[in-house]
Amino acid sequence: MKLPLFPLDTVLFPGCMLDLQIFEARYLDMVSGCLKAGHGFGVVRLIEGSEVGLAASEYALTGCEALIRDWQQRPNGLLGIRVEGGRRFDVLSAEVQRDQLTVAEVSWRDEGEDLPFGDEHADLALLLEALGQHPMVQALGMGCVAQGQRSLAQQLGYLLPFQPERKVELLQLDDPQLQLERIQRWLEELQGDALE
């Protein structure tokens, strides 16, 4: 499947919301094409360089489909869109088109079923509920109760202040139990750093 890519300095996770302002012609055309065709585009984490004419080595090769859920003209004249993370994918190959838009051949990752979380995840579920009280999270319509391990891991991975490299690492993990273990360990590291 061919998917236009939008390299950003953020990592989008399935089920999570992201607000974007679009102003470059190639991305305005991309959004228009996606709206007409009824499909999304791919968000990949920008590793280095500018967004113009990226080579494959300059962005993460695992990304998340962005499904356009809302759009409006901003007071500043820019196009504002809200996207929801869809399926995860791996970039197999990519080419930069004449308009500088990168289009990739992708393979979709198998998500599997979302297993219920157990007692060992209670603290993480409470943390997600607490994050849901933050006005910025509420504005995105996120932070509600997670449906299962995968949903819990994806929302926490998206909302918590981990380094972008760690977020990409989480996105690449297929097992939600492993994702939650990694999140727990990183939270303990953050707490240890705060105490020093």
**For every one of its 196 residues, what pLDDT tens digit does the chain have, with 9 covering 90 and above?**
899 999 998 999 999 999 999 988 889 999 999 999 989 999 999 986 555 444 444 899 999 999 999 988 888 878 899 999 999 999 999 998 888 889 999 999 988 888 898 889 999 999 999 998 888 888 888 866 788 999 999 999 999 999 999 999 999 999 999 999 999 999 999 887 666 5
* Whole-number pLDDT of residue 147: 83
Q: What stretches of 16-114 show up as alpha helix (H) in DSSP? A: 25-37
Q: Count H helices, E strands: the chain?
A: 6, 6
* Whole-number pLDDT of residue 25: 86
Write the DSSP symbol of residue 128: H
Let me know: does 147 contact 121? Beta carbons within 8 Å: no
